[in-house]
Chains A and B, each alone.
Chain A
């Protein structure tokens, strides 16, 4: 029985020394026992006000100024002041070094938890998850944000805050349609970026008008044949397409589109791995906090306080509870990662039927593999076990708008497991996705209008689509129309 002399702290006040000591012990467990490979950690102590700042800018440590962030902050400040919203205990940035925020209000137990959760759990996930590795550049992001901020400030000075704001408004509207889902993006680097920007500006000024030249150079040149389509294939990345092909857009506006597209790209994996990322961080902090307690570093009281926060974070309210607001990614992710370990160490007959790795004594290897190789959709499809479905009492509900009742299509029983798992994976994939709207054609030789088409089967919100279309028309400079499956919407470019 530990006698208390090894305790990291006895009262619950944090100090910088205590944080340093705690971080050291946590790091030891994370590296030696959990074999986590992480970016170097930078722990930053901040105030609640600063946490609200970070919230307002998608958690990024710096951002170009825009009214929408001011709005976000006003909303959150209001909720926070009215007591409707608690602040997250932590916020962590996918950067190298990995920056984790510790709020000054936190108790020492909370700081310990945050270091384990964010500085080791999230950090390791950022560094090792395949999706993050391919899509984001932790090395370059801080410099890139700095570049983005100074470039946009420069534009504000040169062209005026309102004009710049208009461009950003339009780009933000297309944020979710500014990602290449199929391709891997290039790495970010502020220095290369500045060089590329200059080359691009020079090239565009020279060549862009060439694409759009309508006067035949040779008198007897034939009009282009109607079948010659541009673009040759539909393009899903609307911001990219406009940035590269808008007929009369000023170069600096293209640059701003590029910046916003790049940042959207950087943030894209976070929306695709919410369940895994949080689940893994919870799995890590749960392991570490217990090991600290077993080693006599945390008192029983500290462990109880940890349990209180942990259960609050991983609590899943039932669908009919007033507190229900969808599936809690912390809860589902944590349950699945814990379950992977259980399936390795104490598999049942059922587990053996479902999972080839059941009974593998190297549970850590399995957890690492799951953490590295998947995103939420495939993760659920691969690892959601009957036990977790039973624990959560999952069921599937279908809505047919023509019927006056919903139908229960599956419950957590033998006949329903497979169905539920597929349905949940599809639901996760769909909820992270915006309508699939692509550029199908540009009328290059006539009125230059841009032709968009909705490629999926879900109806779009028409009021929203119309307003978004107006933004596109503003950037494109000519009429834009959207074929939204039976409805055609047109936005006329304003004569300028």
Chain B
């Protein structure tokens, strides 16, 4: 007798092995992810799950094996057509592909390592996890402990009084039904008892009447009971379908809740000195920053501010596409950021980040204004990042920022020359070190 069991709903048990496999090749996976981060546009990269090819030789499992390449051997093969004993068959050329028969199949063939690859597929989430593994927003811990709180309306059960617009129909009907049942059942029982008495009484009257006896007392009682029945029936009818006491209202309360949204101000110099390469560098930096910050908060807004001689808010396309002339002034851009922040993203309610990319070109006499602006902004910011692109020497602007950073560690500065620099630099910036680093 056989037992038959349906195991199909048990699912696959591959996960534990899969986890250990990824663990085993995590170096490779990490390298591949970082290579992708360096080469591809971040947007393209995150669209789909990424299969990462891992050469199986990385996962080779050695063991003692025979090496029959140069050994004497003898094999029995099937399918002889024309050979006779003593026939000699020329060996296939060393580099010719041979006919794949002798020598390749028996034990010898097992030694080949093969150049096969296996694919490890990472979901976008896993991909980011690997990409940002070990990184943290320097200011994040602080953010968590002294989270900004906002008051928010939240549901908090049901109450008997409230505005008609918040009346909860379901609850109300439920209460009404319960009340009707409770009130009615008592009266129904009384009514039934009276009806029984009535029937008994009528029978009594009929019998007495048949015997020609007096029935006046019974008749009086009869009319009394009939009145009571009428009264009860009236009362039962009078039980309202909905009573005011049935009404229930959804209750809401104000509760404090931590802010989980953030805004990033992206500030970029779009004056003539910023070429395509510099903009590309800046773009990569901004995107990485966006993705990274996005992982920490529920919603992230981005504000793009471009500037040359003057500053303006713009769309992403304009931001990365713009090429405008004129001198370069940094302070108006910072001023605009502060303005927008005060107006639309008050720092009591938003986690505010500011990222600036520039080639460091700034009018000499503007630097003082920049210092003022930055000092004014920094207390409201979680972090400020400054990326200087394609400069052989540190600019006066960078030196200024570095100077400020001595006092405000949440200001972080870095320099990059080539696309490949961005990712390592990003890692360096966000490596969990107290106070951040200043390149």
Choose among A46, A326, A399, A408 the residue that contacts B72 (Cβ–Cβ < 8 A).
A399
Contact code string A246-279 (vs B, CB < 8 Å = 1, else 0): 0000000000000000000000000000000000
**Contact yes or no, A74 B118, CB < 8 A:** yes
**Contact yes or no, A395 B77, CB < 8 A:** yes
**Contact yes or no, A324 B101, CB < 8 A:** yes
* Residue of chain A at shortest CB distance from B13: A53
Question: Given the complex of chains A and B, what is the CA–CA distance between A47 and B16 in angstroms?
Answer: 19
**Contact yes or no, B86 A408, CB < 8 A:** yes
A169 within 8 A of B: yes
Instruction: Pick the most buried of B11, B13, B70, B101: most chain A CB atoms within 10 A of its CB.
Output: B13
B14 within 8 A of A: yes
B68 within 8 A of A: yes
Choose among B78, B80, B102 the residue that contacts A399 (Cβ–Cβ < 8 A).
B102
Distance in Å from the Cβ of A246 to the closest Cβ of chain B?
Answer: 18
Question: Given the complex of chains A and B, what is the CA–CA distance between A443 and B430 in angstroms?
Answer: 53
**Contact yes or no, A53 B20, CB < 8 A:** no
* Residue of chain B at shortest CB distance from A174: B63
**Contact yes or no, B65 A75, CB < 8 A:** no
**Partner-contacting stretch, out of A130-138, A202-210, A297-305, A455-463:** A455-463
**Contact yes or no, A44 B5, CB < 8 A:** yes
**Contact yes or no, B17 A67, CB < 8 A:** yes
Contact code string A139-180 (vs B, CB < 8 Å = 1, else 0): 000000000000000000000011001000100111111000
22 A-B pairs in the complex with CB atoms less than 8 angstroms apart: A46-B7, A66-B20, A68-B59, A71-B56, A162-B23, A318-B78, A319-B77, A319-B78, A324-B100, A326-B106, A394-B80, A395-B77, A397-B102, A398-B72, A399-B75, A400-B72, A404-B90, A406-B89, A408-B87, A410-B85, A430-B107, A460-B65
B8 within 8 A of A: yes
B344 within 8 A of A: no
Distance in Å from the Cβ of B91 to the closest Cβ of chain A?
Answer: 6
With contact pairs A172-B61, A175-B63 given, residues A393 and B90 touching in the complex (Cβ less than 8 Å): no
Question: Given the complex of chains A and B, what is the CA–CA distance between A401 and B69 in angstroms?
Answer: 8
Interchain residue pairs A-B with the least CB separation, the first 7: A318-B79, A70-B21, A70-B17, A65-B16, A467-B62, A319-B77, A395-B80
- A residues less than 8 Å from B116 (CB atoms): 75
Question: Given the complex of chains A and B, what is the CA–CA distance between A175 and B62 in angstroms?
Answer: 10
**Contact yes or no, B75 A67, CB < 8 A:** no
- B residues less than 8 Å from A42 (CB atoms): 2-5
Q: Which of B97-124 contact A (CB under 8 A)?
A: 99-103, 105-107, 111, 116, 118-120
* Residue of chain B at shortest CB distance from A393: B80
Question: Given the complex of chains A and B, what is the CA–CA distance between A327 and B106 in angstroms?
Answer: 9
**Contact yes or no, B91 A404, CB < 8 A:** yes
Choose among A104, A320, A458 the residue that contacts B66 (Cβ–Cβ < 8 A).
A458
* Residue of chain A at shortest CB distance from B72: A400
Interface size on B, residues (CB 8 A): 67
Choose among A97, A319, A427 the residue that contacts B3 (Cβ–Cβ < 8 A).
A97
- A residues less than 8 Å from B91 (CB atoms): 399, 403-406
**Contact yes or no, B89 A408, CB < 8 A:** yes
- A residues less than 8 Å from B21 (CB atoms): 67, 70-71, 74
**Contact yes or no, A20 B2, CB < 8 A:** yes
A368 within 8 A of B: no
- A residues less than 8 Å from B120 (CB atoms): 74
- B residues less than 8 Å from A71 (CB atoms): 21, 56, 59, 118
- B residues less than 8 Å from A49 (CB atoms): 11-12, 14
Q: Which of A306-359 contact B (CB under 8 A)?
A: 316-322, 324-327
* Residue of chain A at shortest CB distance from B88: A405
A58 within 8 A of B: no
B211 within 8 A of A: no
Instruction: Pick the most buried of B61, B80, B106: most chain A CB atoms within 10 A of its CB.
Output: B80
**Contact yes or no, B74 A409, CB < 8 A:** yes
Distance in Å from the Cβ of B332 to the closest Cβ of chain A?
Answer: 55
B217 within 8 A of A: no
A245 within 8 A of B: no
Main secondary structure of the interface of A (DSSP, over half): mixed
With contact pairs A49-B12, A408-B83 given, residues A399 and B64 touching in the complex (Cβ less than 8 Å): no
Residue numbers of A with Cβ under 8 A of B are 16, 19-20, 23-24, 27, 40-47, 49-50, 52-53, 56, 62, 65-71, 73-75, 78, 97, 104, 115, 119, 161-162, 165, 169, 172-177, 316-322, 324-327, 392-401, 403-413, 415-416, 420, 423-424, 427, 430-431, 434-435, 437, 458-462, 464-465, 467-468, 471
**Contact yes or no, B85 A411, CB < 8 A:** yes
With contact pairs A65-B20, A409-B85, A410-B85 given, residues A319 and B101 touching in the complex (Cβ less than 8 Å): yes
With contact pairs A396-B76, A459-B70 given, residues A165 and B5 touching in the complex (Cβ less than 8 Å): no
With contact pairs A20-B2, A408-B86 given, residues A319 and B79 touching in the complex (Cβ less than 8 Å): yes
**Contact yes or no, A16 B101, CB < 8 A:** no
B10 within 8 A of A: yes
* Residue of chain B at shortest CB distance from A318: B79
**Contact yes or no, B77 A69, CB < 8 A:** no
Question: Given the complex of chains A and B, what is the CA–CA distance between A75 and B90 in angstroms?
Answer: 36
**Contact yes or no, A465 B4, CB < 8 A:** no
Choose among A65, A398, A400, A424 the residue that contacts B17 (Cβ–Cβ < 8 A).
A65
B39 within 8 A of A: no
* Residue of chain B at shortest CB distance from A71: B59
B1 within 8 A of A: yes
Choose among B75, B78, B106 the residue that contacts A392 (Cβ–Cβ < 8 A).
B78
- B residues less than 8 Å from A460 (CB atoms): 64-67
B84 within 8 A of A: yes
Instruction: Pick the most buried of B63, B75, B76, B106: most chain A CB atoms within 10 A of its CB.
Output: B76
**Contact yes or no, A70 B14, CB < 8 A:** yes
**Contact yes or no, A405 B8, CB < 8 A:** no
Question: Given the complex of chains A and B, what is the CA–CA distance between A435 and B267 in angstroms?
Answer: 68
Q: Which of B17-55 contact A (CB under 8 A)?
A: 17-24
* Residue of chain A at shortest CB distance from B111: A461
Contact code string B321-342 (vs A, CB < 8 Å = 1, else 0): 0000000000000000000000
- A residues less than 8 Å from B24 (CB atoms): 67, 70, 165
**Contact yes or no, B85 A416, CB < 8 A:** yes
With contact pairs A318-B78, A319-B77, A393-B79 given, residues A176 and B63 touching in the complex (Cβ less than 8 Å): yes
- A residues less than 8 Å from B77 (CB atoms): 319, 394-397
With contact pairs A174-B63, A400-B72, A458-B68 given, residues A16 and B2 touching in the complex (Cβ less than 8 Å): no
* Residue of chain A at shortest CB distance from B64: A435
**Contact yes or no, A50 B78, CB < 8 A:** no
Distance in Å from the Cβ of A417 to the closest Cβ of chain B?
Answer: 12
**Contact yes or no, A47 B67, CB < 8 A:** no
**Contact yes or no, A50 B12, CB < 8 A:** yes
Choose among A68, A325, A410, A435 the residue that contacts B65 (Cβ–Cβ < 8 A).
A435
**Contact yes or no, B6 A16, CB < 8 A:** yes
- A residues less than 8 Å from B16 (CB atoms): 65
**Contact yes or no, A435 B72, CB < 8 A:** no
- B residues less than 8 Å from A78 (CB atoms): 118-119
B238 within 8 A of A: no
Choose among B72, B76, B79, B81 the residue that contacts A424 (Cβ–Cβ < 8 A).
B76
With contact pairs A399-B102, A461-B66 given, residues A68 and B8 touching in the complex (Cβ less than 8 Å): no
B182 within 8 A of A: no
- A residues less than 8 Å from B6 (CB atoms): 16, 44-45
* Residue of chain B at shortest CB distance from A484: B64
Question: Given the complex of chains A and B, what is the CA–CA distance between A464 and B22 in angstroms?
Answer: 24
Question: Given the complex of chains A and B, what is the CA–CA distance between A227 and B99 in angstroms?
Answer: 54
**Contact yes or no, A423 B71, CB < 8 A:** no
B220 within 8 A of A: no
- A residues less than 8 Å from B89 (CB atoms): 397, 405-408
Distance in Å from the Cβ of A257 to the closest Cβ of chain B?
Answer: 15
- A residues less than 8 Å from B76 (CB atoms): 327, 394-397, 420, 423-424, 427
Question: Given the complex of chains A and B, what is the CA–CA distance between A435 and B66 in angstroms?
Answer: 6
**Contact yes or no, B3 A407, CB < 8 A:** no
